[in-house]
Amino acid sequence: MTQTPPQPLRVVAVSGTLSSPSKTDALVDAVLDELALVLPIERHVIRVSELGPLFAGALTRDQLDERVERELRAVEGADLLIAASPVYRASFTGLFKHFFDFVEQYALVDVPVLLAATGGSERHALILEHSLRPLFGFFQALTLPLGVYAHASDFTDRRVTAPLLQERIRAAIARGLPLIRSSVDEKRRIERAVSGEVDGLDALPTPTAHDAAPVRLYS
Ligand X SMILES: Cc1cc2nc3c(=O)[nH]c(=O)nc-3n(C[C@H](O)[C@H](O)[C@H](O)COP(=O)(O)O)c2cc1C
Distance CA 85, CA 207 (A): 27
Give least dist CB 83 to ligand X, A. Answer: 14
Residue of 46, 87, 132, 171 that binds ligand X (CB under 6 A): 87
Residues across the chain: 219
Sign of CA dihedral 143, 71, 156, 38: positive
Residue of 47, 124, 181, 210 that binds ligand X (CB under 6 A): 124
Give least dist CB 168 to ligand X, A. Answer: 16
Binding mask 7-46 for ligand X (x = CB under 6 A): ----------x-x--xxx----------------------
Sign of CA dihedral 113, 118, 123, 124: negative
* Residue 129 or 202 having the CB closest to ligand X: 129
DSSP result, 32-49: HHHHHHHS-EEEEEEEHH
* Residue 87 or 142 having the CB closest to ligand X: 87
* Residue 39 or 116 having the CB closest to ligand X: 116
Contacts of residue 203, defined as CB under 8 A and 6 or more positions apart, other chains included, come to 3, 4, 5, 6
142 phi/psi in degrees, rounded to 5? -100, 85
Residue of 5, 89, 105, 198 that binds ligand X (CB under 6 A): 89
Binding site for ligand X (CB under 6 A): 17, 19, 22-24, 86-90, 118-121, 124
